[in-house]
Amino acid sequence: MPTEPVPDAIPTRLTPHAAHDFTAPMNAVLPRRRSQAWTLANCLTYGRLVAVPVVVVLLFWPDEIAARWSAFGVFVAAAITDYLDGYVARAWAQSSALGRMLDPIADKLLVAACLLMLAADGSINGMSLWAAIVILCREVLVSGLREYLAELKVGLPVSRIAKWKTTVQLVALGVLVAGPAGETLIPGSLTAGIVLLWLAAALTLYTGWDYMRAGIRHVIDDPR
């Protein structure tokens, strides 16, 4: 008894039109993700990340005036991007998860690398090392706290004093990065840099405690 042919349940081959319909959503998503990764705001953050090893390499020659001025120039440019990337992201609606992740990482790497190199070449020495230690410990503490609170879907907003702290910290490090080169132009600049570093450390302690207090309150309220 002849049987009727059974049609294939699943087509073995997609027509060009069907293949286009299948890949179109994916092709639409990928360019959008690429464009979000290469916004001007994110590119400014990438530039700050690239500046970190450049400053470190230039500080390997602490007594070379040209190297110190070059390190100072790169540091100032990186510090300016710290303000510009946030401004551009807000003004041009370029905020992204990638930018929010990389921005604090770039800030902390720049600060930590400069503190370590300045301590190594003696620009920061003696009791002033404690100011550097306070700043480094606070960065580690707040980073860990933010990571934990992120699991609770809780964010820590940046306070006005924290913004002042960042400004004083970057100015202090900029003066110290210039180091002996700055002394040739403005005598006493190294002393001024150390004073600003201590001021930054004091603001760091205050804002660190402020963040810690807010974080502990959320931890206590967590029902888990």
Q: Does 10 reside within a domain?
A: no
Contacts of 11 (CB under 8 A, 6+ apart): 18
Q: Does 5 reside within a domain?
A: no
Q: Does 8 reside within a domain?
A: no
Q: Does 90 reside within a domain?
A: yes
Q: What is the pLDDT of residues 70-93, one digit of tens each?
A: 999 999 999 999 899 888 988 988
Q: Does 9 reside within a domain?
A: no
Q: Does 52 reside within a domain?
A: yes
Do residues 32 and 94 touch, judged by C-beta distance below 8 A?
no
User: For the chain, what is the domain count?
Assistant: 1
User: CATH no. for residue 203?
Assistant: 1.20.120.1760
Q: What is the pLDDT of residues 127-176, one digit of tens each?
A: 999 999 999 999 888 888 877 777 767 767 777 888 899 999 999 999 99
Q: How confident is the model at residue 208 (pLDDT cuts 50, 70, 90)?
A: confident
Sign of the four-CA dihedral 103, 108, 110, 111? positive
Domain encompassing residue 141: 16-221
For residues 113 and 97, what is the distance between their CA atoms, to the nearest angstrom? 25
CA-based nearest residue to 58, from 48, 46, 67, 69:
67
Q: Does 169 reside within a domain?
A: yes
Q: Does 28 reside within a domain?
A: yes
For residues 59 and 118, what is the distance between their CA atoms, to the nearest angstrom? 8
Of 29-33, 63-67, 178-182, 188-192, which range is least confident? 29-33
